Structures are given as C-alpha cells and as structure tokens.
C-alpha cells in the first residue's frame, strides 16, 4: 500500500493554522466542479447531501475525483442518516459532516460509524477508491482509513451547544462547527449573526475544542467584518468560500447586469 488519502494531511494543515479553503457543492452533478475547485486554489470540498437531491452515486463520484486530484472530500450527510456513512466512505469520501447533532450519543454514533472495530462499528471492506481499489487486508487497510477518516460535528441548537464540551472529548471527533444559520433561527433571530449569543456560542465551542485538542469551524457567516471579530475567539483557518449554486448565481447576475449596461449605453 503506497498511497494515503489526502485527508491525512488536512488536519495537520489546520492545526498548523495554514489557510485552507473549502468549496461547498450542492447543485453540480459532474466532476467538472472538482477540477474547478482545484484550479481555483481550494484544498477541500464539501458535498452537501443535506440540502440537495443528489444521489449517493453522484456524491461518491465527486469524492473519488477529489481524492484523485489531491483534495479532501467531506460529505454533509442528511440529518441522523448514520446508515449512509459507511456507503459514502466506501465510495470515496474522506469523512463526514453531521448536521444538527445535539447529544453525546448522537455524536458518538457518527464517530463510530466512521471507524472499524474496536474503535467503531464500520462494516469491514477490503477495496476503496482512496487506496486505488487494490484488495487490501484488514490489518493494513483499517489503520489507514481509521486515521484518515474525518468527523465534523455540526452544532446548530442551544441543546447541542450545551453539550459541546462533552462532544469535543469524544474519540473520533476531529472538528466541531457552529451552523450559524440554523442557530440564529433557533434563537428566533434568523440571519442576525451580530447577536451577542452567536459570539457566545463561538466562544463556547472554540473553548471546548481548545481544551480537547480539536478544531473549531464556523459556517454560515460570510461577512468579513463580522468574521474578523469572531476568528480571534479560536476559529480554525478553514474557510468555506461559498456554495456552487450561490457562486453561479452571483456570477450570472453580475454578467447579466454588465451586458444590460452595455446594451442600454449603446441605445442612449
């Protein structure tokens, strides 16, 4: 076995504080988006199965392409779809993002689904794209995949926040994230990221991560001025640059306005 998945260096990069970019994929269905991610300087992709109708086949193909191009591929699974985790990892994903986790037991179920016995309960396999689909004994394969599987727990409710420290202690959990969109909605102030409770939540999760050697990720806030006030609390160097559908909309809108301005100028 002469190859290890790109995710092996992903956590090291983040723990070293190196700028790390992730592109979220919701609407794309071909590996073109993976090539675009790589050529634009991204280090990783998040394939979003929580907010799309994408099939597991497409998700696996995107992850396999990312692996081949040296990008780390995480999949945001549908809420509490633990049974999907093994299929995605077997299909080429380097790890998962589990949304709306609220309890230690829920987080532990995710972590154990990502690793083989005795650390977890992942079903045994001997051929994965991350290792070139080369038949590999469990003795060789299990440690490599266990060590490179990434687990990000997404906290989006006050209950989840209250359990942040206990979740951060779990073996197999690598990152804790605050989902600011759902969290502000839960607080009754949707989209109001300047609410002091958001800052308190970031500080709480970042503190838990620091105490237990984990990484804190902040999602859903794209305002640079607000991010500048929150990052010093302990937010990692991972930045989600945007979602493919939103970026396409922004580019299409800008191009449409450009042409409309030109046409109106020519008619004046």
Q: Which residues participate in catalysis according to the annotation? A: 51
Q: Taking Cα atoms as reference points, which of 139, 84, 138 lies closest to residue 114?
A: 84
Using only C-alpha atoms, what is the Rg of the chain?
A: 19
Query: Contact 182/157 with Cβ under 8 angstroms?
Result: yes
Tokens of 231: 């990052």
Tokens of 113: 């689904």
Cα–Cα distance, 249 to 26 (Å, whole number):
13
Q: What is the DSSP letter of 51?
A: S
Tokens of 228: 């500048």
Tokens of 178: 């605050």
Cα–Cα distance, 168 to 179 (Å, whole number):
16
């Amino acid at each position: 076995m002469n190859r290890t998945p790109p995710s092996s260096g992903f956590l090291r990069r983040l723990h070293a504080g190196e700028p790390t970019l992730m592109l979220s994929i919701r609407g794309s269905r071909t590996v073109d988006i993976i090539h675009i991610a790589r050529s634009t300087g991204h280090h990783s992709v998040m394939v979003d199965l929580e907010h799309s109708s994408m099939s597991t086949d497409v998700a696996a193909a995107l992850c396999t392409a990312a692996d081949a191009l040296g990008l780390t591929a995480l999949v945001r699974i549908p809420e509490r779809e633990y049974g999907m985790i093994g299929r995605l990892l077997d299909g080429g994903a380097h790890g998962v993002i589990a949304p709306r986790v609220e309890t230690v037991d829920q987080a532990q179920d995710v972590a154990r689904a990502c690793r083989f016995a005795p650390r977890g309960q992942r079903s045994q396999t001997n051929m994965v794209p991350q290792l070139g689909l080369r038949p590999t004994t469990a003795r060789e394969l299990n440690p490599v995949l266990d060590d490179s599987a990434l687990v990000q727990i997404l906290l989006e409710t006050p209950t989840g926040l209250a359990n942040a420290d206990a979740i951060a202690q779990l073996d197999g959990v690598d990152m804790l994230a605050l989902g600011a969109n759902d969290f502000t909605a839960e607080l009754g102030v949707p989209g109001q990221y300047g609410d002091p409770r958001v800052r308190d939540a970031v500080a709480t999760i970042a503190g838990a991560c620091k105490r237990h050697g984990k990484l804190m990720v902040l999602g859903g806030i794209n305002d640079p001025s607000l991010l500048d006030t929150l990052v010093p609390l302990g937010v990692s160097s991972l930045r989600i640059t945007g979602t493919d559908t939103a970026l396409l909309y922004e580019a299409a809108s800008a191009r449409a306005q450009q042409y409309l301005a030109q046409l109106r100028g020519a008619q004046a």
